[in-house]
Amino acid sequence: MSEDPKSLTHLYRTNDPLNPTEITTIQAELVRQDAAILKLQQQLRNLEVGREKYASLLSPLRQKPLPIELLGDIFAIVIARLHFQLDDLELGSGHTAGRPGVRENVSRARSKLIQLCLVCRAWRDAVYATPYLWSRLDLYWPSLDFDKVVRWFALARGHPKSLYISPTYLYGFKEHQFDTLAKLLDQGPLLEHLELDMINGTSGLGEGGRLYKKMITKLKYSKVYAMKGKRPWDLLTSFSIRIDDANISSESDVVIPFRHLTTLYLTLPEFYEGIPWDDEVGDSPDLQAPLGFSPDTLLGGLTRLTIAQCDWKISALLALLRWCTKVETLTVGYADRDEYHDDEEPSSNFLSELADKGVSLPALKVLRLRNVDRNQKRAYSVLRFLSTPNLEELDMGFAKVEGAAEDGRGYEFEDPEFSFQDCVQLERVVESFGERIMKEVEVAGAKAKREAEPSKSSSGQSGETILQTGLGPFRRLRLRNLYISSKSLTTILLSVPASTSHLTLDSIYSDSTLFQQLQDPLKYVSPTAPRLLYGYLLPKLQILEILDIRRECTHIPDIYGFVASRRPLGLFNVPGMEGTERLRELKMSIIEKNKLKGKKEGGEEELGASRADDILRLVYGINVDVRVVRA
């Protein structure tokens, strides 16, 4: 029999060696106590689980559940984020300019919605009680089914409905799919937005456009065509179409029968790649529009127009835009071009006439150019031909430079012999664009002054006119992904209207002395560059965004010096002595290389930047948001 553990108490008072019997007794006691501990731990876990079950019965959500409306709003945020990820924000039609392709996982939002319904009854009730969750349906062409679409949109009730149909890599286009779409447009639920993507990755190339035209023909002469009441396509206000058919010739038309569109997204093949617009239309270009579009029933009513994968001649693009007199937001995304592609367009009477008067877009407020190739004139030369008296924002995103990584690492910025190239063509185009805007502002100011004279003489009060302030409607300039010399960029900023109050430089790679030059621009630019209005660069600048700049190619203290130099100067109510507006906001994101572990580089520089931020906030009253991103 083993020795009683109580007889081992004397061992706690001595350091005597243990005998074999004592060792065996101690080991057995350890095993027994371990077993007891495990048993107690299991009992504790069982008690905790039971307690959690009882506590869940007293949950506030059980006693007073969230209102169905609030749950629906939460679910709407979840679904909207999935749609946000699916759609491309650059062009708003699900695809990036210059990079066509098949959208993947379009059913993700629909699957998530079904999962929410399976959690519990309360969640299911909230989903079914929220029409917005059922207002959008994304499908692949092979999944298009009339009855299923009708049942889905029935849950959206009176909420505006959107239908997106995308292709797949594995299946081509079938005629019965377009028959189903024709039935939906003729007899299905009322739609506000429709997107038809007929670009296929592998099979069915050339069939999408042909079947679409056949469907439109059937739709026009449908038996239900003369029925009373509104058809689904009568309320359609937004339409997106993507076609890339190899067998479509330059004489083909794209029929869009919807008569009440305000928003149109186009991704079309190279209709006018080799033929100038003059040759295309014959002797009467002013009476026609490209692609057979109706100037009155289609183009004349648009307020938002997006052209993706644009590879047309300038004349064809301008011939389309001249009819869009009500467009407020225009986005043109250019296609990727071959390095040796001919970029020149023969001179023509059509372009010669437009060079003087320009294409008038009186309602245009936002102009976005995407995937602009800085080495090909057609991408940004369209600015020379546009007359935009009410333009508020110009947003230009440039194509990736060959040999440069996405983050700019493809260039050896730290090489002392590296130099950024001038963009002379871009300088000239922006200068011409800015001059046209300023002339239009002067004309509008003179007109306003003449109209104000009678009222001023009758009331005895003097009013400030556009001409007196030198201000126009233009407010924001955004440049993205541009490799440019500091001299060229300074010249461009000198050319933009003086009314610019919001400047965004996103992923701009230039010389490290850029912001030093911006403080005294005339010292560095050519004598032919535009002169400074009121003696200051961008005198009305209030918001400055400098995003994704690389620390190794930017002298950060120069940025702070430029910002500090924007303090109020001059007399704002005295013409010619207005000075500069106070810069109210600085937003900056800096990309820098990851430091080696244990290496303490840049500590003093970061501390200095932090102190500079505090000075700008406290002394100059500027809202500063500076973030550092480790790459």
pLDDT (tens digit per residue) in 296-336:
778 888 999 998 888 777 888 888 888 899 999 999 988 77
- Contact between 306 and 268 under an 8 Å Cβ cutoff? The reply is no
CB 370 within 8 A of CB 97: yes
Average pLDDT over residues 515-530: 73
CA separation for the pair 626, 617 (Å, rounded): 12
| Side chain identity at residue 444, one-letter code | A
pLDDT bin (cut points 50, 70, 90) of residue 606 is low
Q: Which of 160-174, 212-226, 382-396, 509-523 has the highest mean pLDDT?
A: 382-396
CB atoms within 10 A of CB 562: 20
CA distance 426 to 381: 8
The predicted pLDDT at position 462 comes to 45
d(Cα 495, Cα 396) in Å, to the nearest integer?
15
Name which of 7-16, 210-219, 566-575, 609-618 the model is least confident about. 566-575
Burial class from Cβ neighbours inside 10 Å (0-12, 13-18, 19+) for residue 261 reads buried
> Residue 278 — very low, low, confident or very high, per pLDDT cuts 50/70/90?
low
Do 514 and 540 meet the contact criterion of CB atoms below 8 Å apart? no
13 vs 369, more confident: 369
Between CA 504 and CA 348 the distance in angstroms is 36
Query: Residue 564 in contact with residue 620, Cβ under 8 Å?
Result: yes
Q: Which stretch of 261-275, 427-441, 448-462 has the lowest confidence by average pLDDT? A: 448-462
Average pLDDT over residues 232-250: 71
pLDDT at position 255 over 80:
no
For residue 36, report the phi and psi dihedrals to the nearest 5 degrees.
-65, -40
- Residue linked to tokens 């300023």: 438
Query: What is the reported pLDDT for 330?
Result: 94
User: Cβ(214)–Cβ(222) under 8 Å?
Assistant: no
Mean pLDDT for 367-372 is 89
Q: How much is the average pLDDT of 402-416? A: 47
pLDDT in tens, 103-161: 556 778 888 888 988 988 888 999 999 999 999 998 888 888 999 999 999 999 888 99
Q: In the predicted model, is pLDDT for residue 66 greater than 90? A: no
Query: CA 110 to CA 163: how far, in whole Å?
Result: 12
Residue 32 has pLDDT above 60, yes or no: yes
**In the chain, pLDDT over 70 holds for what percent of residues?**
70
Read off the pLDDT band of 45 (50, 70, 90): very high
Q: What is the pTM of this model?
A: 0.78
Whether 287 has a pLDDT exceeding 50, the answer reads: yes
CA terminus-to-terminus distance, the chain: 70
In b/e form, how buried is each residue of 476-489, taking b as 16+ CB within 10 angstroms?
A: bbbbbbbbbbbbbb
Q: For residue 165, give both structure tokens.
A: 């149909």
589 vs 577: CA distance, rounded Å: 34
User: Under a CB-based contact definition with an 8 Å cutoff, are residues 343 and 381 in contact?
Assistant: no
| Least confident interval from 181-185, 387-391, 404-408, 431-435 | 404-408
CB–CB of 319/277 below 8 Å?
yes
71 near 78, Cβ under 8 Å? Answer: no
Q: Average pLDDT of the chain? A: 75
Distance CA(8)–CA(536), nearest Å, equals 94
Residue 570 vs residues 462, 496, 521, 567, 575: alpha-carbon distances, Å: 21, 21, 19, 10, 10
Dist. CA 154–CA 143, nearest whole Å: 18
The residue-averaged pLDDT of 205-218 equals 71
Number of Cα atoms under 13 Å in the Cβ half of residue 112:
18
Which residue type, as a one-letter code, is found at position 248? Answer: I
Average pLDDT over residues 218-234: 59
SS3 457: helix
Q: Which residue has the higher pLDDT, 315 or 101?
A: 315
Does the structure show a pLDDT above 90 at 199?
Answer: no
Question: pLDDT digits over 156-178, tens only?
Answer: 988 899 998 888 766 667 888 88
Nearest to 562 by CA among 630, 489, 507: 489
Q: pLDDT band for 450, please (50, 70, 90 cuts).
A: confident
Residue 1 binned pLDDT confidence (cut-offs 50, 70, 90): very low
What are the tens digits of pLDDT across the range 542-582?
A: 899 999 888 777 778 888 888 887 766 554 455 555 555 67
Question: Span 193-204, mean pLDDT?
Answer: 69
